[in-house]
Structure 1
Amino acid sequence: MNRLETRKRRVVAIGGGTGLSTILRGLKKADLELTAIVTVADDGGSSGILREEMKMPPPGDIRNVLLALAEREPLLQQIFQHRFQNGNHLAGHSLGNLIIAAMQEITGDFVTAVKTLSRVFAVRGTVLPAANQSIRLRAEMADGTVVIGESNIPKAKKKIARLSLIPEDIEALPEAVAAVKQADLIVIGPGSLYTSVLPNLLVPGIQEGIKQSQAQVIYICNVMTQPGETDGYTVRDHVTAIYEHIGQPVFHKVVVNCGHIPPAVLKKYEEEEAYPVVYQPGSLDPFNIEVIEDRLFMVNDYLRHDARKVTEIVLRCLHG
């Protein structure tokens, strides 16, 4: 029997925010060796306060991914996602963020804290930060102005020309690089293009690992544009922005939404200046990318990627 057939297939999911957490809820149910590589660039809210006061990577995206992969998710969700309403210093903090911060103090290391909590909560898979230190984002806008900080970039409401990381010599977590190099399939996205996806891909070790990997690389494009970040972007614009930042083509397949979004939902998004990300047939032909079109979302007041559907697509790519 082929050695590949005797072990679980290795899937690495890279991103941050709600997009990554959503698809992980589907992927954890498959018989896979799953690794999530999570951005550490968040600097807003509770995560931002903790990264400054505790000198630690921001815990927010890690918290959401731990929840998504936990076996006892409903109870954990309630505890971990509880946000304090009162108190001069506690108000606004997520209990989950504080638990991660406490575990870092106990273990002396952020990555060790995440691994310990993964065991405590019976997480299916491995959760790794892209780096074992905080990253700050630097965005150069089309008009030449510079904006520093993940939370400030969308607020500027300007077209982003170039994104870079501070510090420039950031080192990828060795375990994350190893996971990428050993993967059978790498899933990138969905998630905020400039504040969730690219911050991972710009970490030198992660970027090089993807290019050196023999894995098939899939990009799951967002269903909607994000105000102040990807205004007016098509699917091709998303892919072009990534390639302009990391160089040579890396995607074998791009997954795009072709489902019809209900008018009432569209109206809600339009009020927030967000619109569907359009795929123009043939627009990715110059990149030699296979396009997979499907209805990718579920509707629950707002759109969320359909974890079951995305998992089906990933498994088809893996075994097809």
Structure 2
Amino acid sequence: MDEKKRIVVIGGGTGMPVLLRGLKNLPIDLTALVTVADDGGSTGRLRSEMDIPAPGDIRNVIAALSDVEPMLIELFQHRFANGNGLSGHSMGNLLLAAMTSITGDFYTGIKEISRVLNVKGTIYPISDENLYLHAEMTDGSIVSGESNIPLAQKKIKRVFLSPQLIHPFPGALQAIEQADLVVISPGSLYTSIMPNLIIPSVDKAIQKTNAQVVYVCNVMTQDGETTGYTASDHVKAISAHIGNGTIDKIIVQDEPISKAMQERYAKENAEPVINDVDVLKKMGLDVIEGDMIDHQRSALRHDTKKIAKLLYSIMSQK
């Protein structure tokens, strides 16, 4: 029997689970490398109180990859409301914090909860250290904290992590080295995607891997992060952080976004990302255009099945 092809997805935020939900049902060996730099809300409180890496993005990935009764996932994703010590906390974040406390190790906690929730694939935190994200703005100012960076409403020059000596999770590096396809997921470019890519050794592993590296480009710009960015601006930002020529292919949305949806996103100062295909091709990228949007949803999200099918076909062509 042929060995299953290996797909590694790197990211965080809302874009990554969408990709994973489609990929988990394919005959592949799937690994998710997830950011742990989030510091807002429930995640931020648990980080500071328990000195653990951020559980929020990991929780969403577990939910996306699990294969259990919907009610169990609803319970795992439940967020407590109103006026008590639990308000704002997510049940899944609390379970991850508790399991870390029981097992004495963040990754072992993830592994045990993944087992209980019948997760398809492997989930690694990009690092199991408590790390913090900072941004240097084009005006020279430094903004600290993942949740504060977009709020500064300044143009971002670069992002970096503290402490200085961060160790990537060993399994993450191995997964990138052994992959047949590495996928950089859509999501907040500087605060969900970049924190994974800039970890020492991860950037080198992505540069050196024999796998094709595919970037699924965001469909809309994000206020305070990528205002006015074209598709090539997204790639240039990644290249500026981890080196030129790292990305082989880019997937962009080529069907227009409906007027109603554009008006809705305009309230958040977001607009469709312009696909400057000629510039992308001059940069040496293979550009894959298509209608990748789930038109049934009230928010703009990639279509889980379409994107999974496309990624699988890219890997099968190799």
Tell me if the contact between 1:67 and 1:76 (Cα under 8 Å) persists in the aligned partners: no
How far apart are 1:77 and its partner, in Å? Answer: 2.6
Residue 302 of structure 1 aligns with an amino acid whose one-letter code is A
How far apart are 1:261 and its partner, in Å? Answer: 1.1
Q: 2:52 aligns with which of 49, 56, 69?
A: 56
Query: SS in structure 2 opposite 1:228?
Result: coil
186-195 or 296-305: bigger deviation: 296-305
Residue 316 of structure 1 aligns with an amino acid whose one-letter code is S
How far apart are 1:135 and its partner, in Å? Answer: 1.8
Aligned-partner Cα distance in 2 for 1:269–1:77? 28
Residue 266 of structure 1 aligns with an amino acid whose one-letter code is Q
Deviating runs (4+, > 6 A) in structure 1? none
Deviations 1:246-282 (A, max 9, x none): 1131111000011221111110000110000110231
Q: 1:225 aligns with which of 221, 227, 234?
A: 221
- Could you tell me which residue of structure 2 aligns to residue 298 of structure 1? 294
Structure 2: any 5+ residue segments left out of the alignment? none
1:99 aligns with 2:95: yes
Deviations 1:271-302 (A, max 9, x none): 11000011023111232110000111113221
How far apart are 1:134 and its partner, in Å? Answer: 2.0
- Cα separation, partners in 2 of 1:73 and 1:166, compared to 1, 3 Å: farther
Q: 1:289 aligns with which of 260, 285, 288?
A: 285
- Could you tell me which residue of structure 2 aligns to residue 25 of structure 1? 21
Q: 1:125 aligns with which of 107, 121, 126?
A: 121
- Could you tell me which residue of structure 1 aligns to residue 307 of structure 2? 310
Query: SS in structure 2 opposite 1:204?
Result: coil
Mapping of residues 1-320 of structure 1, within 5 Å: 6-72=2-68, 74-299=70-295, 300-320=297-317
How far apart are 1:114 and its partner, in Å? Answer: 0.2
Query: SS in structure 2 opposite 1:17?
Result: coil
Aligned-partner Cα distance in 2 for 1:80–1:134? 23
How far apart are 1:209 and its partner, in Å? Answer: 1.2
Query: SS in structure 2 opposite 1:79?
Result: helix
Query: SS in structure 2 opposite 1:92?
Result: coil
Residue 145 of structure 1 aligns with an amino acid whose one-letter code is S
Aligned-partner Cα distance in 2 for 1:99–1:15? 22
Per the normalisation by structure 1, the TM-score is 0.97
Residue 152 of structure 1 aligns with an amino acid whose one-letter code is N
Percent identical residues = 51
Deviations 1:178-200 (A, max 9, x none): 01100000000111100111100
Aligned-partner Cα distance in 1 for 2:162–2:143? 12
Aligned-partner Cα distance in 1 for 2:110–2:293? 30
Aligned-partner Cα distance in 1 for 2:78–2:26? 29
Aligned-partner Cα distance in 1 for 2:315–2:277? 24
Alignment RMSD: 1.0
Aligned-partner Cα distance in 1 for 2:214–2:178? 16
Structure 1: any 5+ residue segments left out of the alignment? none
How far apart are 1:73 and its partner, in Å? Answer: 5.7
